[in-house]
């Protein structure tokens, strides 16, 4: 279950990093994702800041779940974490498709694909290795 707890900790860390980034410098994230400076206004910055706060709340919840996980419930917890990555990944691709920007030179698309890959890893590694022998 060591791998599963590390994967869960990675998701908490990613949520904190993105959350703080969205709160402290939302414009820099939007620019990195391909928005032009003229497209970024206070409303867009405010919306991204709200998402950042939500990510910090999510990080807190995921950290609590990580601390409560037991081998009996590990697969269920890992599926919860996998769904988080999947939701963000699909969201990124959906937003890109709606903007008619579903191309590999779009950072949103690449990030969305990466998040979906993370979801697959969490799903595939959802159960602790049952083949290990207890220490003697």
46-70 tens-digit pLDDT: 999 999 999 999 999 999 999 999 9
Least confident of 17-21, 92-96, 128-132: 128-132
Cα–Cα distance, 127 to 56 (Å, whole number): 26
- 102 secondary structure, DSSP code: -
pTM above 0.95, yes or no: no
User: b/e string for 46-65 if b means 16 or more Cβ within 10 A?
Assistant: eebbeebeebbebbeebbeb
Domain edges within the chain: 2-124
Instruction: Identify the pLDDT of residue 12.
Output: 94
* Average pLDDT score over residue span 115-121: 97
How much of the chain, in percent, has pLDDT values that exceed 70?
95
User: How high is the pLDDT of residue 69?
Assistant: 93
Please report which residue ranges of 1-136 form alpha helices under DSSP H: 2-24, 26-32, 42-68, 74-98, 107-124
């Amino acid at each position: 279950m060591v791998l599963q707890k590390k994967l869960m900790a990675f998701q908490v860390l990613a949520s904190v990093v993105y959350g703080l980034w969205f709160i402290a410098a939302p414009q820099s994230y939007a620019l990195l994702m391909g928005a032009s400076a003229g497209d970024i206004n206070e409303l867009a910055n405010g919306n991204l800041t709200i998402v950042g706060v939500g990510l910090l709340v999510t990080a807190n919840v995921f950290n609590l779940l990580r601390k409560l996980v037991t081998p009996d419930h590990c697969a269920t917890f890992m599926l919860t974490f996998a769904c988080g990555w999947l939701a963000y990944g699909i969201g990124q691709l959906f937003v890109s498709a709606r903007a008619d920007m579903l191309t590999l030179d779009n950072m949103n698309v690449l990030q969305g694909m990466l998040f979906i890959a993370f979801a697959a890893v969490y799903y595939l590694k959802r159960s602790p290795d049952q083949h290990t022998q207890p220490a003697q």
